[in-house]
Amino acid sequence: MIIRAVKKPTALLLTIVAVVFFCLCYAVKSTGAYAVYYNGTTRKLPIYSVDRSDNKISISFDCAYGADYTEKLLDTLDEYNVKCTFFAVEFWVKKFPDMVKKIVDRGHEIGTHSKTHPKMSTLSNSQIKEELLSSKKAIEDITGTTVELFRPPFGDYDNEVISTCNELSLYPIQWDVDSIDWKDITAKQIVNRVVSKTKSGSIILCHNNGLHTAEALPYVLSNLQEKGYKFVKISELIYKENYKINSFGVQIKND
């Protein structure tokens, strides 16, 4: 009988396994799956995108610092007959009340982006409520419309944040297409990034005061419209009842 020695894994093989494992972990971390189950605890998710086959999508703009390009954004949105969603921090709302009113008067909606732009997961329950209720009221006092949506600053949230949103009848909204316009990348880079990543049910993240966002917007809108996508406000994209959110943050209508 011949006994063959069992070969030990080579260093190259071990390296390959380690790299694959790292890539898988990174992929999971960058999706809702990481957020749903991590460290042995189940986490609640906001809405990253919506399961739709009708080519409806939403573009959104976070407003926290400055309003230099907001008028140009509104003009472009009018030109392409697009309605969208702005998320505004309370201190921005109080600094630019005329712009807040103009956004709503031109057919768009405004959700809250918090009172002071904190990392929400670091706050107590009472502090979370203060951030949401105070900013919600500030917007409603100016616009006369009800605030239904909340986007956590930095995309940061935990179970307490999501539960509190539900308690206050606010839909927590993330995104699945990040323009990364806040990094001051070129208009062409913004366009290529957004157009290549958008799919039916996508929520696109932009910023009202991004250095090249207003320059990129006409090309983003025209390219996506040519592909057959229809822009709607986030409140019209999401399901308001009888839904679930899967492990990737996709909102799905229950059968």
pLDDT per residue over 182-205, tens digit each?
Answer: 999 999 999 999 999 999 999 999
Percent of the chain with pLDDT over 90: 83
Q: In the structure encoding, which two tokens stand for residue 133, read together? A: 């209720």
- Amino acid 177: pLDDT: 98
Domain formed by 49-253, architecture:
Alpha-Beta Barrel (3.20)
- Amino acid 33: pLDDT: 37
pLDDT band at 31 (very low <50, low <70, confident <90, very high): very low
Q: What string of DSSP letters covers 16-70?
A: HHHHHHHHHHHHHHTSHHHHHEETTEE----B-EE--SS-EEEEEEEESS--TTH
- Amino acid 113: pLDDT: 98
- Amino acid 255: pLDDT: 81
Return all residues near 51 (Cβ < 8 A) that are at least 6 apart.
201, 250, 251, 252, 253
pLDDT band at 42 (very low <50, low <70, confident <90, very high): confident
Q: Average the pLDDT over 110-132 and give the result.
A: 98
For residue 116, pLDDT over 60 is answered with yes
